[in-house]
Amino acid sequence: MKKLLTGLAAALITMPTLAELVRFEVVEIESPAFDGRSFGSVGQYEMITARATFAVDPEHALNAGIVDIDLVPTNASGRVEAIADVAILRPVDLSKGSGRLFYEVLNRGDKISFILMNDAPWVGYYHGLDVANGHLMNEGYTVVWSGWQGDMPAGKNRMTLQAPVVENVTGTVRDEFIFYHNYDPFVATLSYPAASLDTDKATLTVRARQTDPRVTPDDLTFEFFMAARAGIEPYTNEQIVIHRPAGFDANAIYEFTYEARDPIVMGLAFATVRDLISFLRYEPEDDAGNANPLLLDGKPATQTTYGMGISQSGRFVRDFLYQGFNEDEQGRMVFDGLMPDVAGSRKTWTNYRFAQPGRYSQEHEAHLQPGDQFPFTYGVMKDSLTGKTDGILKRCLESDTCPKVIHTDTATEFWQARASLVVTDTTGKDIELPHNVRAYLMASTPHSEGFGGDPYPLEYCQNLGSPLQNGGPMRALLHALDLWVREGVEPPDSEFPSHADGTLVPPDQESAGFPSIPGVSFPDVINGLRATDYSKFPPNEGSPYPVYVPKVDEDGNDIAGIRLPDVSVPLATYMGWNLGSKGFAEGSLCSVIGSTIPFRVTKSDRQRLKDPRLSIEERYANHEAYVKQVEAAAKRLVEKRLLLEDDVKLYVELARKRDIGIE
């Protein structure tokens, strides 16, 4: 394996191209990557590490909506500059590639899509990136990542975007802290530097649950963190020390409201992703004469482009599309297809002053963060509460740059991310999705990808965590998206709950049909949503939007959606929700972690314990019968084009290795 280090020091040309990626500097090439492993007919891959400099025109109509872009210095050409870390995984012999580019929007600076697309374990940074089954490589994809989160610290395990700071601008910021422990005191890091170290100019409150009143007990105090016991500047304006009051558990909500300074122009994230993909897709070189790294015979080799985001980055994908960034400055399509995964009906807290793109609304945590308001679904419609007319596709429809969209959610998003609003209007009635959008529920699976192994205990949740993993169906849906884009082959019909077929219901146990399992509590809370005025501190909530959840079968597993073999041939009840345990906001929704409630092995045990669910021995004559049912379930998914043929053996092998309690 060889490593090539280069430092290309080319000056910016004063008149940038319309793509606005003006300098692409290769920092390192690892060739071949992965210890020389070869992938089918594609061969070996190499990893290119680079830095991309962007010069964005603040006066261009497509950039005018970037918050505060008009308040930061510009270069000699009147452009606002930003620099992104870039990584490109490409075939060593690009002629053997497929001409397809797969861009993953990083999740908090990390690459995580291989967990789904390649069944890889979590390893963090790409120098340790495990390609596992190598699916994307075997398919000949070029995979691209770039830093986009302007508040993400640079470092070994993160890719970041160097975006300009609006100096000398202040504003009120509200930070929430939940510690998951009882250490006292505790140091909390602020989202932005405080404008003053005067504690009288800030307020700290606490409450046990999200809906409780904010209180300031006498023994709740804070001070700015002392960075050194001696020195010229012993205190920092970026951290506070919280002295925690008596009577509040480990998951109490601490809310710190303060005057902050130096917001980041975070909305440049959207423009830099747009301009990077546009450059790789359309341009032979940058303004400094550096070649596009994806050239073949002097021309860009990229024929089709797909973008995917998971969780935080899935919300980014929806927001990217909503804010009109799938059109580049020459009016060209950026992504042919987009895959927002586990985003629910949400967007992001990114293109705002004092943005906090790492936050996401949950029932108990960060519930009142911006970025979750109307519109929720893809088609254009009128909001019954605010009177606004809008939709995720509104801007791309106006410019004729709408991509094909595969929207995927797990069961968790119905409880924590109002996923029902993707397929209903704001009065709660079923809607028809636009012709270029499909929506799929991964039935009974958790937001946080499982490990494909055994259920696992968590101190702060009541139930065992869910091991379910959705890699198989996600690979099939990427394949369907590719056929849809390149050949016009319609993908499988949407698999999502609806009122029409009775699978979308109110979030109570009777309506959901959830069985009464001994020792298992059904949630009496959900992460609801109201039309909210964020100009107030705290925000002022108005009328509620209707939110629904999937109906379940007699075992407690979701009826609608793509049912993994583990769900259609179950050994347990799998839920997208879990509940906080004692000492951790008991009864609240426990983060975005799903649950597993195993079946009893024998009929006598389940009868003795009054468990209404059939036991393992009542379901399967023996272990081999169980394996055969799993295989049949996997093949049914293949027939529906929701699983690739090659993945059938994956589920069969897992079933054979699994100890189900009977021979």
| Range in 9-18, 218-227, 347-356, 513-522 the model is least confident about | 9-18
Cβ 290 vs Cβ 23: under 8 Å: yes
Q: List residues bridging with 268 in a β-sheet.
A: none
| Cis preceding-peptide flag for 538 (omega within 30 of 0) | yes
- Calculate helix-pair angle for 312-322, 268-282, nearest 10 degrees: 80
Q: Is 542 helix (H, G, I), strand (E, B) or coil?
A: strand
pLDDT (average), residues 74-100: 97
As a whole number of angstroms, the distance between CA 235 and CA 190 comes to 14
Report, as an integer, the average pLDDT of 195-206: 96
- Joined together, the tokens standing for residue 156 give 């070994």
pLDDT for 216 beyond 50: yes
Q: Which residues share a beta bridge with 221?
A: 243
Reduced to 3 states, what is the DSSP secondary structure of residue 543?
Answer: strand
The pLDDT assigned to 452 comes to 63
Write the CA distances from 346 to 118, 145, 371, 436, 630, integer angstroms: 26, 22, 7, 19, 34
504-505/437-442 β-pairing: unpaired
**In this predicted model, what pLDDT tens digit does every residue of 401-428 receive, in sequence order?**
999 999 999 999 999 999 999 999 999 9
pLDDT value of residue 426:
98
**Please, which residues bridge with residue 504 across strands?**
550
Quote the DSSP letter at residue 395: H
What local confidence, expressed as pLDDT, does residue 129 receive?
Answer: 86
Q: What does the pLDDT read at residue 228?
A: 62
Separation in Å, CA 428 to CA 289, 385, 460, 525: 54, 12, 33, 18
Which residue, chain included where needed, has tokens 């092998």?
A: 653
The 10 Å Cβ neighbour count of residue 229 is: 6
How far is the C-alpha of 534 from the C-alpha of 352, rounded, in Å? 12
| Residue range 106-127: mean pLDDT, rounded | 83
pLDDT exceeds cutoff 70 at 169: yes
Instruction: Give the pair of three-digit tokens for residue 141.
Output: 């994809």
Q: What is the pLDDT of residue 450?
A: 63
Question: Are the beta carbons of 362 and 279 closer than 8 angstroms?
Answer: no
At residue 234, does pLDDT exceed 90? no
How would residue 121 be classed by pLDDT, with cut points 50, 70 and 90? confident
Res 8: pLDDT: 31
Task: Take residue 68 and report the two structure tokens written for it.
Answer: 């505060």
pLDDT at 431: 98
Over range 237-250, report the average pLDDT.
97
* Predicted confidence (pLDDT) per residue in 572-619, tens digit: 999 999 999 999 999 999 999 999 999 999 999 999 999 999 999 999
pLDDT over threshold 90, residue 386: yes
Tens of pLDDT along 335-379?
Answer: 999 999 999 999 999 999 999 999 999 999 999 999 999 999 999
- In percent, the amount of the chain with pLDDT more than 70 equals 94
How far apart are the two ends of the chain, measured CA to CA in Å?
48
Indicate the pLDDT class of residue 261, thresholds 50, 70 and 90: very high
pLDDT at 621: 98
Q: Is the pLDDT of residue 12 over 80?
A: no
pLDDT for 55 beyond 60: yes
pLDDT for the residue 15: 43
408 φ, ψ (degrees, to nearest 5): -125, 140
Report the DSSP pairing between strands 437-442 and 404-410. Answer: parallel
Average pLDDT over residues 241-250: 97
d(CA 102, CA 335): 10
Is residue 226 very low, low, confident or very high in pLDDT (cuts 50, 70, 90)?
Answer: confident
Compute the distance between CA of residue 189 and CA of residue 123 in angstroms, rounded to an integer. Answer: 25
Q: Which residue has the tokens 């998206």?
A: 481
CA 59 remoteness from chain centre? 31
Above 80 in pLDDT, residue 387? yes
What pLDDT, on the 0 to 100 scale, is given for residue 448? 78
